[in-house]
Amino acid sequence: MASWRCIFGLLLATCYSSVSGEPNPVWHWQCLQGTCQKQHYNETVSSSPLSLPTCRLSCSDAAGLWPKPTGDVSVSNIFQNVNFNSIDVVPKQSNSPSSKLVREAGKVFKEQIQATIPRRFNPKGGKSLLVDVDIKNPSFSRLTLDTDESYTLKLSETSDGRLNALISAQTFFGARHGLQTLNQLIVFDDLKGELLIPSEALITDKPAYPYRGIVLDTSRNYITIDAIKRTLAGMGASKLNTFHWHITDSHSFPYVSKSRPELSKYGAYSPSKVYTDEDIKQIIKYATVRGIRVLPEFDAPAHVGEGWQNTGFVTCLNWQPWQSYCVEPPCGQLDPTKDGVYDVLEDIYGDMIEQFQPDIFHMGGDEVNFHCWKSTPNIAEWMQRKGLNVSEEKDLVQLWRYFQDNALQRLDKKAKRNIPVVMWTSHLTDPEYLTNALPKDRYIIQIWTTGTDAQVGTLLENGYKVILSNYDALYFDCGFAGWVTSGNNWCSPYIGWQKVYSNTPEKIAGPTKKHLVLGEEAALWTEQADSASVDSRLWPRAAALAEAVWTSPANPSWEAAEQRFLAHRERLVELGIGADAIEPEWCLQHEENCRIGAKLNTDTKFN
Ligand SMILES: *[C@@H]1O[C@H](CO)[C@@H](O)[C@H](O)[C@H]1NC(C)=O
Ligand SMILES: *[C@@H]1O[C@H](CO)[C@@H](O)[C@H](O)[C@H]1NC(C)=O
């Protein structure tokens, strides 16, 4: 059943149809005391009902945008009906590497608008929207740590009644963020059955930090291509720009190396649980259109195992009791004394450099177990021959450095340049070894200690560039059952989004050292997650990280961000991402009423 209602403005009558069954809403939202409040709708008093998403555009902090822009936000409270079928995204520089990306990003833009329209609605009529995308450096199509990601978005009405959005940016990467912001300004109003957009807006924006990522482990459990794409879709919607792919580990080797295919043949969980060259191409394309770099990690010399069985280059593989040789089963470590191991590494690096064309490379380098190496007879003999003492930690560190220096040489040979390398904090980043083992002009250190660990200070005082993944705020695998013990897992409890939100670089590094922080990255180690649960582990918490590092408020207040955060979680769900629920929908609908110390009591206003 459809019924038609008309609203009479000054000059124009706008009509809309409602096919939802009940044409007359009894509730709507009004901006009162700076918040959207659910009010009884009486059509003799209010001419036009507003849905909550529409109300937010003119009432919420920063028009409800997530992450909150760092520049100016001015948005009109007059809304126009947009015709979904006449939205065009047009690159101004038509024959450049960027223009193809802009056209692809335009498709994503339209898909995201479509996703906001509930199935039973078919909005009709409305004005056309032309999105002009003006890129100053259109030849630039790869993200680096120096890429300018700023943009300006200007929305206006033309004299002949069409809507025009102008997105200006230095690079495609800024422009696609502008499109993403525009996406959030177009809402489906289910009280009107229309797609609405503010008639005017002016937004300037750029990220506070250049590196904003998620590290996903695809070895402990395999993650399907679809689940990886959902992850990338959520990242794009939240302006995260780095998908750090921890593609292999001891448990399985799903990466199909073109030059060493036997590694995945032996090491994948099954022939279907692999990432082929074609899969990787698809993922990189999907990511690039969303402004995301795909950063490959090949973790070594620890965190190897399955797949290496027949090479002769792995030791301690599945040794028991595993507690003596590694942090979790199955154990496995490369044998640095075997010359052939570096040939295999060179081949893997070469394959990855060719496929990913990365601007930075991750060599892993965490959790080397010295007891494993010194319990390997041929390693002990080799060390003796070199005058190293297997009982001395510093000599085992020498062995590790021998491995790292050789592995780095092979990487450089394949990259044909000194590509910046990321390594996890480890023994090598201890103060006594750090500056010799990992020179700061070569290595970026990814911190996974707690945010208050002494290593953080050591690294910053020595002038290292760092990426923060401090486990006490950014390990999203914490807080589930133990799997090698009873009780809860090692880094319990579960980390709430509020903690993620307030973990800003300035808070960890301090105001005088924050310039050394490239950004932050949330980690999902997948011992206890797979494609069925990856969405709810990551989202919406990774969006909290996104604002901590894009906006990076000086005094982060989750309370002030809560309503925008809840709104963004709804956007993620609309995109088909299984983002976890944070609180009852009642609290989404009754802003500011659920928190302890809430000041508003909208009950009285229903009378
Ligand atoms: C709507 O408001 C008018 C004017 O205040 C009032 O007379 C009428 O009773 C209200 N209708 C409802 C359903 O509350
Ligand atoms: C090796 O180091 C251990 C522990 O420090 C020491 O007791 C031992 O004498 C050393 N061995 C040699 C051959 O120096």
Q: How far is the CA of 41 from the centre of ligand 1 (A)?
A: 9
pLDDT value for 6:
39
Q: Does the residue 604 lie in any domain?
A: no
Question: How many angstroms from the chain centroid is the CA of residue 554?
Answer: 21
**Residue 315 and residue 368 in one domain:** yes
Task: For ligand 2, atom 7, name the residue with the nearest CA.
Answer: 391
Task: For ligand 2, atom 12, name the residue with the nearest CA.
Answer: 389
Q: Which residues contact 278 (CB under 8 A, 6 or more apart)?
A: none
- Tens digit of each residue's pLDDT (9 = 90 or more) over 238-267: 999 999 999 999 999 999 999 999 999 999
Q: Nearest ligand to the C-alpha of residue 396?
A: 2
Is 42's C-beta closer than 6 angstroms to any atom of ligand 1?
yes
Q: Which residues contact 436 (CB under 8 A, 6 or more apart)?
A: 401
pLDDT value for 121:
85
Q: Does the residue 594 lie in any domain?
A: no
Q: How many CB atoms lie within 10 A of CB 239?
A: 26
> Among all chains, which residue has been given the structure tokens 């970026």?
444
Asked if 167 contacts 134 with a C-beta cutoff of 8 angstroms, the reply is yes
Q: Does the residue 603 lie in any domain?
A: no
Ramachandran class of 519: left when φ > 0, alpha when ψ lies in -120 to 50, beta otherwise: left
Backbone angles phi, psi at 593, to 5 degrees: -100, -10
Asked if 301 contacts 368 with a C-beta cutoff of 8 angstroms, the reply is yes
User: Average pLDDT in the 122-149 region?
Assistant: 94
Per-residue pLDDT band for 600 (boundaries 50, 70, 90) equals: low
pLDDT of residue 604 exceeding 60, the answer is no
**Which residue among 166, 184, 205 closes a domain?**
205
Q: Which residues contact 485 (CB under 8 A, 6 or more apart)?
A: none
pLDDT of residue 146 exceeding 60, the answer is yes
**Residue 317 and residue 196 in one domain:** no
Q: Which atom of ligand 2 is nearest to the CA of 389?
A: 1
**Which residue among 161, 178, 205 closes a domain?**
205
370, 383, 384, 392: residue to mutate for ligand 2 pocket, most atoms within 8 A of CB: 392
CATH number, domain with residue 385: 3.20.20.80
Q: Which atom of ligand 2 is nearest to the CA of 390?
A: 1
**Which residue among 138, 171, 205 closes a domain?**
205
Q: How far is the CA of 8 from the centre of ligand 1 (A)?
A: 19
- Tens digit of each residue's pLDDT (9 = 90 or more) over 75-121: 999 999 999 999 999 999 988 999 999 999 999 999 999 999 998 88
Q: How far is the CA of 324 from the centre of ligand 2 (A)?
A: 21
Q: Return the structure tokens found at 512.
A: 């005088």
Amino acid at 455: Q
Q: How far is the CA of 44 from the centre of ligand 1 (A)?
A: 7
Terminal CA-CA length for the chain: 31
Task: For ligand 2, atom 4, name the residue with the nearest CA.
Answer: 391
**Residue 414 and residue 290 in one domain:** yes
**Residue 514 and residue 394 in one domain:** yes
Q: Nearest ligand to the C-alpha of residue 389?
A: 2
Structural domain that includes position 48:
4-205
CATH number, domain with residue 34: 3.30.379.10
Give the separation between CA 472 and CA 490, rounded to whole angstroms: 11
Is 46's C-beta closer than 6 angstroms to any atom of ligand 1?
no
Q: Does the residue 597 lie in any domain?
A: no
pLDDT of residue 13 exceeding 60, the answer is no
**Residue 459 and residue 576 in one domain:** yes
27, 43, 44: residue to mutate for ligand 1 pocket, most atoms within 8 A of CB: 44
pLDDT of residue 124 exceeding 80, the answer is no
Q: How far is the CA of 37 from the centre of ligand 1 (A)?
A: 19
Is 45's C-beta closer than 6 angstroms to any atom of ligand 1?
yes
Range of weakest confidence among 344-353, 438-447, 570-579, 584-593 = 584-593
Is 44's C-beta closer than 6 angstroms to any atom of ligand 1?
yes
pLDDT of residue 7 exceeding 50, the answer is no
- Tens digit of each residue's pLDDT (9 = 90 or more) over 311-370: 999 999 999 999 999 999 999 999 999 999 999 999 999 999 999 999 999 999 999 999
pLDDT value for 33:
87
Task: For ligand 1, atom 12, name the residue with the nearest CA.
Answer: 42
Q: Which atom of ligand 1 is nearest to the CA of 40?
A: 14
pLDDT value for 46:
78
Q: Which atom of ligand 2 is nearest to the CA of 391?
A: 2
- Judge whether 367 counts as a catalytic residue: yes
Q: How far is the CA of 393 from the centre of ligand 2 (A)?
A: 11
- Count up the domains in the chain and report the number: 2
**Residue 242 and residue 340 in one domain:** yes
Share of the chain above pLDDT 90, in %: 89
pLDDT value for 23:
61
Mean pLDDT, the chain, rounded, equals: 94
pLDDT of residue 21 exceeding 90, the answer is no
Q: Nearest ligand to the C-alpha of residue 395?
A: 2
Q: How far is the CA of 370 from the centre of ligand 2 (A)?
A: 16
Share of the chain above pLDDT 70, in %: 95
**Residue 217 and residue 176 in one domain:** no
Q: How far is the CA of 39 from the centre of ligand 1 (A)?
A: 13
Q: Nearest ligand to the C-alpha of residue 40?
A: 1
Q: Nearest ligand to the C-alpha of residue 43?
A: 1
Q: Does the residue 595 lie in any domain?
A: no
Of the residues 157, 328, 367, 574, only one is catalytic, namely: 367
Task: For ligand 2, atom 13, name the residue with the nearest CA.
Answer: 389
Question: How many angstroms from the chain centroid is the CA of residue 344?
Answer: 31
**Residue 572 and residue 438 in one domain:** yes
pLDDT of residue 215 exceeding 70, the answer is yes
Give the CA angle between residues 245, 248, 253 to the nearest 5°.
135
Q: Return the structure tokens found at 321.
A: 């009791």
157-185 CB burial, b ≥16 within 10 A, e <16: eeeeeebebbbbbbbbbbbbbbbbbbbbb
pLDDT of residue 10 exceeding 60, the answer is no
